[in-house]
Amino acid sequence: MKHRYLDNVPLSEAREKILRYLEDNSFTYKTEAVPAASAFGRITASAHYAKICSPHYNASSMDGIAVNSSDTAGAGERTPVILSRDRFTPVDTGDPLPEGCDAVIMIEDVIFSDGGEAEIRSSARPFMNVRQIGEDICMGDMLIPSFTEITPALAGALLAGGNLTAQVIKKPLFGIIPTGDEIVSPKENPEKGEIIEFNSTVFSGMLREFGAESIVYPIVPDKKELLRAALGKAVKECDAVLILAGSSAGRDDYTKDIIEEAGQVFVHGIAVKPGKPAILGAVGNIPVTGLPGYPVSAVIIMNEIVKHIVDLYYKRASSKKTVTARLGRRVVSSLKYEEFIRVTLGAVDGRLVAVPISGGAGVITSFTKADGILRVNQNLEGIEAGKEVEIELLSPIEKAENSLIVTGSHDPVIDEIADIMKRSGGKLSLTSSHVGSMGAITALKTRTAHMGAVHLLDEETGKYNESYVKKYFPDGDVVLIKGIKRVQGLMVNKGNPLGIKDFSDITRGTYINRQGGSGTRVLCDFLMKKYGIDEDSVRGYYNEEFTHTAVAAGIKNGNADMGLGIISAAKMYELDFIPVCDEEYDFIISRNAFDSEAVQTFLEILGSDEFRERIEKLGGYSLWS
Amino acid sequence: MKHRYLDNVPLSEAREKILRYLEDNSFTYKTEAVPAASAFGRITASAHYAKICSPHYNASSMDGIAVNSSDTAGAGERTPVILSRDRFTPVDTGDPLPEGCDAVIMIEDVIFSDGGEAEIRSSARPFMNVRQIGEDICMGDMLIPSFTEITPALAGALLAGGNLTAQVIKKPLFGIIPTGDEIVSPKENPEKGEIIEFNSTVFSGMLREFGAESIVYPIVPDKKELLRAALGKAVKECDAVLILAGSSAGRDDYTKDIIEEAGQVFVHGIAVKPGKPAILGAVGNIPVTGLPGYPVSAVIIMNEIVKHIVDLYYKRASSKKTVTARLGRRVVSSLKYEEFIRVTLGAVDGRLVAVPISGGAGVITSFTKADGILRVNQNLEGIEAGKEVEIELLSPIEKAENSLIVTGSHDPVIDEIADIMKRSGGKLSLTSSHVGSMGAITALKTRTAHMGAVHLLDEETGKYNESYVKKYFPDGDVVLIKGIKRVQGLMVNKGNPLGIKDFSDITRGTYINRQGGSGTRVLCDFLMKKYGIDEDSVRGYYNEEFTHTAVAAGIKNGNADMGLGIISAAKMYELDFIPVCDEEYDFIISRNAFDSEAVQTFLEILGSDEFRERIEKLGGYSLWS
């Protein structure tokens, strides 16, 4: 077993190295001709000029009669002019002006005699009701400059100007090589030890957004000669190569060695978190990037390195959309790295708030939920809550402006409400995060959420939530809305092998706990006190999960024998369930947000038939009315 | 010859009629399953839940050794624990945790003895360095709600959660039927009377942007039975039909009659300008829209009717992005219609300015250049310059913010500079409009442009531009930059059939003039005065064109025998050229904008070798240095 320590090159320096090398080695765009009629979204490689005029002849712009204007001189209400059949020609809109004619009189302004003569009562001036040649486009006019996206109207203008093809920048082709013995193509029932290879899908999609095409090669096992062959093939067929290097240091070394054999490696290890174990190299003028195996790490390298490679190819400046937001929670950062923190964005009290998302580099869902990225410079140890920060947008700012931010205790019903809200077809969406019931109170106090989902038991009164609201919001700037009743209990394996009867039995096996601050943890601690159970006597007390489903998954998988949770989670995982108590899962809503469309829609959904049907299907819930 | 008068139904009423009918007749989305790996950009038809956990087993998150944590109890710097070969298993990142193990110790923290034993100096807690099952995704978790666009990360999450396919909204298929005897498919050399059919391309592209697919049927000649057959086929094969009705009233009637035969027509004639002669109908629950023949009219109906039909299909709210801008020029509007004015947008003196674009409904280039639409309500007779107006965006607002607004006299060199600017790869672009030299002065005075292009002859001094700047900008809030010298002259047909020698000969044939306020018109009037030529003795004096190329095209086509213009235009159209004078084509630049990146880039380009090469190729220009 060997281990090679990585470099820790600052991001801008690492990027500069690869980009400068590529620029010096003529890495740039190729061009191709595509039919103008389907060139939408493509980028012009050169200026396009009209080859013909549009219209390319003098055309009637009305239905009427074409005349020689000099024949109509003097025509007036009292001095009508009669044109004989040979002095005019009926024309429809778009017809060419006949020889000898220079004007068109609208059909409405003509009176035809039985003999077919035309009587007109006002004179025509030359080129009246005529679209003269070149009215829209003149031959030689520039229709589109270089480096410009072809819109539908521009595609039409190209055709109108006689350009049947457009000379555009050929999209760069990226070859994606997934590697690893344990990596398998996506499947519905993977075996233990098989890791589903979904990174290539994420990167294909990102490349598409960058303006590149991609080809995903078959997965290469951890054999040097196989990886060598795969790279050799890819550099022949593509403009750039991505090797999904896996996160094992051993495999990283293969990748690095093989790129070095065929070309050169500029950087192995960038001072970013996540994303450090990236490899930047090239074979000739084909950039070869080794991406870390963890999806979030790799996404950062895609955005910070690979996107810039695509921009260099297109010879365009790299740019990012940013917004300013208030930081919703303190972030701590290492001096060793530039850190990239995924955040959700929402407009609370009229100001944008960015709330960091928890979850490590392996958590793709921390990216699916992210609206933006907070970049923390290497020389900062962190940023305090409340500070104004710059956020790089991952989703349109309109999404943040129309998001209802719900935080607090985890329950699948929140996701069901989010789904119903989306199905209403409006702009509204619901952003939720699982920070526990006490987290909800903190978020409302710091004005980083519109609404908190809570189930907090008052040990003295035995009642839920009310006393907490009174204690933490003495000024009454929130409203407590009764939500749902649900049953909490112990989830245990099918058949209840340990014969658990009630909570006092939790020391008979191993336990999975919920994180501190969650309502379920408060309940756990209350019950332990009630039954006089000591923390250290509960095996697994310190093994914390963040959701009911995560606890259920752990029990199902044998990580522990039991854990507190709700019926719907037990049902999903086919676990047995020993009811412990009925809970009140309620919503604390900021008074400022209460009248908003988003909150009102949320409350409507809470009372809807569709919601009732959905929670019945989940099981273990009841409504107040 | 018959003529049927159209309805004049207000837009909102017309739209409501068709949408309500479609809603009542279950016009809505169909769904389809697509591979998750290529579902980017598609819209989910339902909520998607994880079918498996990710990871779906307990996985090592480090390279190291897997152990049972209880074996490591008490390990410390001074109390190392030695694990025999059978008490640990080497694991790589991603490997499943072996049976009996519950933690991983990083390889860096292990010292291996020659006998293969492992010495460790700190104890492991349960699940240390282990990605527990479901750390990223738990089975049963909602991965994506309904009606949500599948991003690359979401596609990855679907695969990680065991969803190999995504249930998405099937894009609606629009059948496009172009009609008309004189309509031909795009070609490079159309005959007189052939109208190039590029509208179907524009609408295909727009439908793509709306989220729909399209099929373009062969062009249908003006025969009732053929159109009937085409419509019959399209309603069978598609979710919606567009008939490109042509602008002739006769053809409109065909279209209307045939839709009525097969189904019903709700509206024929909407109170909008442009766009009036639209037909809204349906066959069963297939909407059939008759689009006007003029491209700009049809684009308005596409945006105002067809887009809403697509939105109804998707069950989503229609929305438009708008900005507030200062209106750069007065617009006059009819009380008969709601009017849609195309505007360019630019940021002048830090404020957005919307400048109306001239050009009728037949002018597709008025759309290719437009950044937005100003909507003038039917009950308004117009809007004064300087008013704050709401503009519906057609291009990203960033474009407007990074545009250099150049207005005034027309010369192809401006387009060449625009092209060079785009090729520099930055965000900058150049928006130009042809309003003549005096228009440039007005634009600078009203702060609706950054820069004006002028060639204004002072009849008294015989000098160019300087005296105008002094007269109109006495406060010196502009800078005059010398541009290029160019030769003006008379363009005449090849071989100079009329034997024109100099400007005094213009009465020997017909003439095409330039619009009032253009520098070339000022020159024309100066020369006429000089030679004592009377307006009425110049045949065609009142036939005005807006560009040099339009004048050249008119002469080439026989609309007139001659016109004033520049050598490059004569060269493009293979016309003969009789030099009249040397002109100074200069730039007046707002002092506020002078230091901007855009202006400085413009000036750099003016002095560049590339620009010099390009104007040499155009011909008839020289530089000052």
The conformation of residue A546, written as its DSSP 8-state character, comes to S
By CB atoms closer than 10 A (0-12, 13-18, 19+), residue B427 is: middle
What pLDDT is attached to residue B483? 96
User: What is the pLDDT confidence band of residue A246, given thresholds at 50, 70 and 90?
Assistant: low
Type of residue numbered A157: A
pLDDT at B469 over 90: yes
User: What is the pLDDT confidence band of residue A248, given thresholds at 50, 70 and 90?
Assistant: low
Say how many Å lie between the first and final Cα of chain A, rounded.
64
What pLDDT is attached to residue A319? 87
Percent of chain A's residues with pLDDT above 90? 86
Distances (CA, A) of A499 to A262, A492, A493, A504, A536: 63, 9, 10, 12, 22
Type of residue numbered B554: G
Beta-strand runs (E) in A296-337: 322-327, 331-332
pLDDT at B228 over 90: yes
* Contacts of residue B275, Cβ cutoff 8 Å, sequence gap at least 6: B292, B297, B298, B300, B301, B304, B340, B361
What pLDDT is attached to residue A88? 96
Closest-CA distance, B96 to chain A, in angstroms, reads: 5
pLDDT at A332 over 90: yes
Rounded CA-CA distance A4/A57 in Å is 74
pLDDT in tens, A11-57: 999 999 999 999 999 999 999 999 999 999 999 999 999 999 999 99
Yes or no, beta carbons of A138 and B250 under 8 Å apart: no
What pLDDT is attached to residue B2? 47
Yes or no, beta carbons of B141 and A53 under 8 Å apart: no
Rounded CA-CA distance A233/B377 in Å is 62
* Contacts of residue B187, Cβ cutoff 8 Å, sequence gap at least 6: A162, A164, B194, B196
Rounded CA-CA distance A1/A248 in Å is 12
Instruction: Please state the pTM of the whole predicted model.
Output: 0.93
Residues in chain A with CB shorter than 8 Å from the CB of B51 are 188
Rounded CA-CA distance B48/B190 in Å is 53
Residues in chain A with CB shorter than 8 Å from the CB of B145 are 415, 418-419, 421-423, 429
Dihedral sign for Cα B208, B210, B214, B220, please.
Answer: negative
> Average pLDDT of A289-316?
95
Structure tokens at A537: 């006597």
pLDDT in tens, B65-102: 999 999 999 999 999 999 999 999 999 888 899 999 99
Structure tokens at B578: 């009789």
Rounded CA-CA distance B570/B500 in Å is 15
Yes or no, beta carbons of B131 and A186 under 8 Å apart: no
pLDDT at A497 over 90: yes
Which of B43, B63, B70, B93 best tests the A interface by mutation, with the highest count of A CBs <10 A? Answer: B93
- Residue carrying the six token digits 């047909």: B493
Closest-CA distance, A570 to chain B, in angstroms, reads: 11
Structure tokens at B151: 């991003």
By CB atoms closer than 10 A (0-12, 13-18, 19+), residue A213 is: middle
User: What is the pLDDT confidence band of residue B250, given thresholds at 50, 70 and 90?
Assistant: low
Yes or no, beta carbons of B155 and A202 under 8 Å apart: yes
Neighbours of B141 (CB within 10 A): 25
Rounded CA-CA distance B316/B211 in Å is 12
List residues bridging with A434 in a β-sheet. A408
List residues bridging with A243 in a β-sheet. A177, A290
pLDDT at A360 over 80: no
Mean pLDDT of chain B: 93
Residues A419/B146, Cβ–Cβ less than 8 Å: yes
pLDDT in tens, B93-103: 888 999 999 99
Question: Can you give the three-state secondary structure of B102-159, one letter per residue?
Answer: CEEEEHHHEEECCCCCEEECCCCCCCCCEECCCCCECCCCEEECCCCECCHHHHHHHH
pLDDT in tens, A460-472: 888 999 999 999 9
Does residue A55 have a cis peptide bond before it, meaning omega lies within 30 degrees of 0?
A: yes
The segment with the largest mean pLDDT, out of A453-467, A535-549, B32-46, is: B32-46
pLDDT in tens, B387-410: 999 999 999 999 999 999 999 998
What pLDDT is attached to residue B112? 93
Long-range contacts of A234-239 (CB under 8 A, 24+ apart): A234/A175, A234/A177, A235/A175, A235/A262, A235/A283, A235/A284, A235/A286, A235/A288, A237/A173, A237/A175, A238/A173, A238/A174, A238/A175, A238/A286, A239/A30, A239/A172, A239/A173, A239/A174, A239/A286, A239/A313
Structure tokens at B547: 């560009």
Distances (CA, A) of B588 to A441, B392, B436, B609: 61, 30, 13, 22
As a whole number of angstroms, the longest Cα–Cα distance in chain B is 115
> Average pLDDT of A142-161?
96
Closest-CA distance, B168 to chain A, in angstroms, reads: 13
Closest-CA distance, B463 to chain A, in angstroms, reads: 29
Mean pLDDT of chain A: 93
Determine which of A328-342, A376-390, B206-220, B246-260 has the lowest per-residue pLDDT on average.
Answer: B246-260
Yes or no, beta carbons of B139 and A572 under 8 Å apart: yes
Q: Are strands B118-120 and A621-623 parallel, antiparallel or unpaired?
A: unpaired
By CB atoms closer than 10 A (0-12, 13-18, 19+), residue A537 is: exposed
ipTM of the shown complex: 0.93
Residues B335/B376, Cβ–Cβ less than 8 Å: no
User: What is the pLDDT confidence band of residue B6, given thresholds at 50, 70 and 90?
Assistant: confident
Which of B180, B205, B416 is opposite residue A152, by nearest beta carbon? B205
Determine which of A475-479, B60-64, B591-595 has the lowest per-residue pLDDT on average.
Answer: B60-64
Helix (H, G, I), strand (E, B) or coil at B473: coil
Helix (H, G, I), strand (E, B) or coil at B503: helix
pLDDT at A121 over 90: yes
pLDDT at B248 over 60: no
Rounded CA-CA distance B516/B264 in Å is 49
User: What is the pLDDT confidence band of residue B508, given thresholds at 50, 70 and 90?
Assistant: very high
Residues B473/B447, Cβ–Cβ less than 8 Å: no
